[in-house]
Amino acid sequence: MRTNIRRRQLLTAGAALLATMAGGATERGADRQEPSPVGSPDPAAGIDIWPSHPPGMPTPPPVESLWDRSHEPLIADRAVRGIARPRLIAFRSDQPNGAAVLLFPGGGYHHVVVDKEGYEMARWLAARGFAAFVLFYRLPGEGWAAGPDVALADGQRAVRVLRGRASEFGFAPERLATMGFSAGGHLCADLSARFATRVYDVIDELDAISARPYCAATIYPVVSMHAGIAHVGSRKLLVGADASEALEAAHSPDRNITQQAPPHFIVHAEDDASVPVENALLLRAALKAQGVPVETHLFRAGGHGFGLRGTTGKPVAAWPELWHAWASSTGLA
């Protein structure tokens, strides 16, 4: 009944309600997040993370395009590629808890998902008190000088920008977590492993701020770049189909985790046909070997890319609340 009421509200309230939703929070305490409506925040808007052009711009620069994959009239399913202006979309909570989560949607490093692993998760978080931010990061196959480090550069910079502006967004600078899905999970794990690695030149005072997340969640993550374990598309675009063993190792977070990595939360489905569950297991083993706290949830069924949508009737539907409980136990919430 609750879902039906909310759908009727979407149908009757029109543009005014959609504009309100663009601001962030849904009804607090809702058990289930509605799929993103078509009127969700414009992916072309947002907070620039670089003061001018991002470093290492190719010539000619990528041309941004929005790919609409929606199949239902009121449910958005969009993706962006050709990102030459890395940026954050902010979702504020009407009852802030003083913490924030930076989201890295997936897309196989071919594109960045807008709705399913971005806006929907951001609204779910905002409904629970978190300031949430969706990062549209640059893609490594589009000619950037940083090559396979280009998304990591955006991830580091985004953390620093958010911490530098934390008072504006109503959260404590140290209480900034990260969450990544699929290839965004790779970025999330890579940031946890290499938050202090210099992958771009210092440009302003924000770059003195730590890029280490308070805690990190990797959801059905791409981790290893080793052929046979890696997601084929992500590996090809990140390091190349013929990458050397050294290049694979340099961009496999499980090979670079240190004792300074933040606590981790990992979710994967064992029937994931796109990103083998071995990716999650390798990351867990690396974290355990370094003495980094890690909580891992493996589900028998769920497939890949379930986000908040594809979990109905499956045990994997519990993962968001499991994360929330874990985040609370770390002191984030």
Tokens 């911490």 correspond to: 163
pLDDT digits (tens, 9 = 90+) for 239-269: 999 999 999 999 999 999 999 999 999 999 9
The answer, as to whether pTM is greater than 0.85, is yes
pLDDT digits (tens, 9 = 90+) for 102-148: 999 999 999 999 999 999 999 999 999 999 999 999 999 999 999 99
- Region 296-320 average pLDDT: 92
Q: Any idea which of 132-146, 226-240, 299-313 has the lowest mean pLDDT? A: 299-313
Look at residue 39 in the predicted model and tell me its pLDDT: 57
Determine the Cα angle at 332 with ends 328 and 333, to 5°.
55
Q: Determine the Cα–Cα distance for residues 300 and 7; give it in Å rounded to an integer.
A: 31
Q: Determine the Cα–Cα distance for residues 329 and 318; give it in Å rounded to an integer.
A: 17
Q: What is the dihedral of CA 281, 284, 289, 290, to 10 degrees?
A: 150
Give yes or no for a cis peptide into 62 (omega within 30° of 0). Answer: no
pLDDT digits (tens, 9 = 90+) for 8-65: 333 333 333 333 333 433 333 334 455 776 557 888 889 999 998 999 999 999 999 9
Q: Determine the Cα–Cα distance for residues 284 and 278; give it in Å rounded to an integer.
A: 10
Look at residue 8 in the predicted model and tell me its pLDDT: 34
- Region 215-238 average pLDDT: 97
